[in-house]
Structure 1
Amino acid sequence: MAATILADDDDDDMNPFTSIMLLAPTRQPPKPESEEDHQNQSPLSSSKAGITSQQLLDQNNYYLHSINSHLLIRQLPSQGLSFQLWPAATTLVTLLDTHSSQSTIPNPLSTLFKAQENRPLRILELGSGTGLVGIAAAALLSANVTVTDLPHVLCNLHFNVEANSKLLQVNQGAKVNIAGLSWGVDEDMKAIGKEYDLILGSDLVYHDRLYKPLIKTLRFFLLGNDDGSKKKRVAFVMAHLKRWKKESAFFKMARKLFDVDIIHSDPPSHGARVGVVVYRMVGKCFLSINSVPS
């Protein structure tokens, strides 16, 4: 049963680096990225010539039990936080896999995936990073998924989608589209469009300077249409691992616009005080996007 969120700022700050789970245990924790890191980061080369042999070996296989298949995901930790796997992504993939194998049994995602007549489920993923969640969602749900991130991340997304193209082909209806999306940028959001049945995201609440752009992006996709008309009810499912008290500012903003509740939580692991929590957010009373202050 979902639990409504009442407060998010009671715990002490968490160590952000000990809470990042890189599935190869010998890897060093990532260095924090500054705003300049993002601005100065150059795109990855589209050819193997620009990638070292060590980077080519930095891959992970993920077994999806419900479809008896493996996903191959390349990580490039030296390129930044967007190029490595975070704990919330694996939690969300596990939930999707469980739902796929137990679709007739009530589970945390049961009410979110309603069969669509004569078409695949349409899913949008925000802040896709390596693409693990979006690619897994497409394969597990035979869905049409659009994965998004900043322009400098897209080359690795293309690599990982292509690496799993055969898996997607054998699952009828499964498709992964790739698009650039800077949160809060009207041009990017309008280019992607609003015709989605579900929005996914994992470990998005990290840099506090991005809280407002993320909220603006969620307003665009979850609330009413620009002409003031109501839109169908679309949920945002976000897996998140708490690291700092300051994250409560994001959830306070979110609760002004959306009904926010918890649909799943992992127990703490690896000596952490908290585990990954999966939230569901839906627009309050189908508010029009124009009725909400910026």
Structure 2
Amino acid sequence: MTTSDDEEINPVTMLLLDQKDDDVSQPNNNSNIINIAEVVVPTAVEHQSYHLNSITSTLVIRQLPSQGLSFQLWPAATTFVKLLDSYTPSNTDPFSLTVTNAVTSVNCRQRLRILELGSGTGVVGIAASAILGADVTVTDLPHVLPNIEFNADVNKNVVGTRGGGVHVAALSWGKVEEMEGVGREYDMVIGSDVVYHDHLYEPLIQTLKYLLLGDGDGERVFLMAHLRRWKKESGFFKKAKKWFKVDVVHEDGPSGKSRTGVVVYRFARKDAVFR
């Protein structure tokens, strides 16, 4: 069946993590009451557990669904966490080779430095820090940061298993002063489910240009996990390919209610060469 440019491929409810996934536990639902202008507003709090086999530890991530999409777990984030958890330097799949290339490019006196765009709950960045022992800077809009900070703090012992660290920073895509604030001294950039509003396509591309196309940055890549929802998302990739070499490094098949699976893309300078 064909779809129009404005037809949603996956309903908004598909932004939420499929709770039937065998690799993650069911959430524990609690309820907090907050007072706003003398009006009592219930705020649902959900906690999702991710068992990481690679470090024999469990991450616990807080969601606040009533606060908006940035406070929820999205399917592409789960795929990214699973790929990180299954990573070993001996793996030869394209995703693993990309991570290995970043790891081996690091000076022996430094830890891997990762920047996450549009972190949401922070689960991918926190998992990357814990599994890879990396210094990860997780970023999002200012109002999202307190929940990310909460999740980073709750999981600090897990993150420290391999000496990793998580730093939280505000980053509005396309804003030069904020991009310069976080800098571009990173070995790898990551993101999941960041392509969803068409008015953000150009700001995201401008941010990627700043991060990937600077002098001496030929080895840096952006790994992006994405679940297609709108036909018009092809416009983002058309714009991106004008500036970057874009390759698919992993692809899931359709699952659950989704008619499409999560795809992980690698963005790099057009002259980048990968083994």
Calculate the TM-score normalised by the size of structure 1. 0.79
Question: 2:33–2:42: 8 Å Cα contact kept in structure 1?
Answer: no
- SS for the counterpart of 2:61 is strand
Within 5 Å, which residues of 2 pair with 1:90-239?
A: 90-99=78-87, 102-107=88-93, 108-113=95-100, 114-115=103-104, 116=106, 117-172=108-163, 174-225=164-215, 230-239=216-225
Provide the residue aligned with 1:68 in structure 2.
56
Q: State the Cα deviation string for residues 174-193 of structure 1 (Å, max 9, x = none).
A: 00000000000000000101
Provide the residue aligned with 2:266 in structure 1.
280
Question: 2:60–2:155: 8 Å Cα contact kept in structure 1?
Answer: yes
What letter is aligned with 1:196?
Y
What letter is aligned with 1:121?
L
Instruction: Classify 1:54/1:190 alpha carbon distance in 2 versus 1 (closer, same or farther; 3 Å).
Output: closer
Are 1:22 and 2:17 matched, yes or no? yes
Q: State the Cα deviation string for residues 35-91 of structure 1 (Å, max 9, x = none).
A: xxxxxxxxxxxxx874988634x1011000111100010000000000000000000
Q: State the Cα deviation string for residues 91-134 of structure 1 (Å, max 9, x = none).
A: 001011111xx322313222333332111100000000000000
What letter is aligned with 2:16?
M
TM-fit CA distance, 1:247: 0.4
**Whole-Å separation in 1 of the counterparts to 2:42 and 2:53:** 30
TM-fit CA distance, 1:166: 1.2
Are 1:246 and 2:237 matched, yes or no? no
Q: State the Cα deviation string for residues 217-240 of structure 1 (Å, max 9, x = none).
A: 000000024xxxx43420000000
What letter is aligned with 2:14?
S
Unaligned runs of 5+ in 1: 1-8, 26-47, 287-294
**Whole-Å separation in 2 of the counterparts to 1:112 and 1:168:** 18
Moved more, 254-263 or 103-112: 103-112
**Whole-Å separation in 1 of the counterparts to 2:8 and 2:140:** 27
Provide the residue aligned with 2:24 in structure 1.
none
More strand by share: 2
Between the two proteins, the alignment pairs up a number of residues equal to: 248
Of 253, 257, 272, the match for 1:271: 257
Q: CA RMSD in A?
A: 2.2
Stretches (4+) displaced over 3 A? 48-56
- SS for the counterpart of 1:95 is helix
TM-fit CA distance, 1:203: 0.3
Question: 1:112–1:235: 8 Å Cα contact kept in structure 2?
Answer: no
Question: 2:17–2:73: 8 Å Cα contact kept in structure 1?
Answer: yes
**Whole-Å separation in 2 of the counterparts to 1:73 and 1:235:** 27
Moved more, 230-239 or 134-143: 230-239
Provide the residue aligned with 1:55 in structure 2.
44
> Identity of aligned pairs, percent?
52
Question: 1:66–1:98: 8 Å Cα contact kept in structure 2?
Answer: yes
Of 73, 85, 88, the match for 2:73: 85
**Whole-Å separation in 2 of the counterparts to 1:158 and 1:245:** 34
**Whole-Å separation in 1 of the counterparts to 2:82 and 2:118:** 18
TM-fit CA distance, 1:262: 0.4
Question: 2:245–2:269: 8 Å Cα contact kept in structure 1?
Answer: yes
**Whole-Å separation in 1 of the counterparts to 2:217 and 2:252:** 33
What letter is aligned with 2:183?
G
Question: 2:127–2:159: 8 Å Cα contact kept in structure 1?
Answer: no
Unaligned runs of 5+ in 2: 21-31, 36-40
Question: 1:142–1:175: 8 Å Cα contact kept in structure 2?
Answer: yes
Q: State the Cα deviation string for residues 197-252 of structure 1 (Å, max 9, x = none).
A: 00000000001000000000000000024xxxx43420000000011111011000
Moved more, 83-92 or 12-21: 12-21
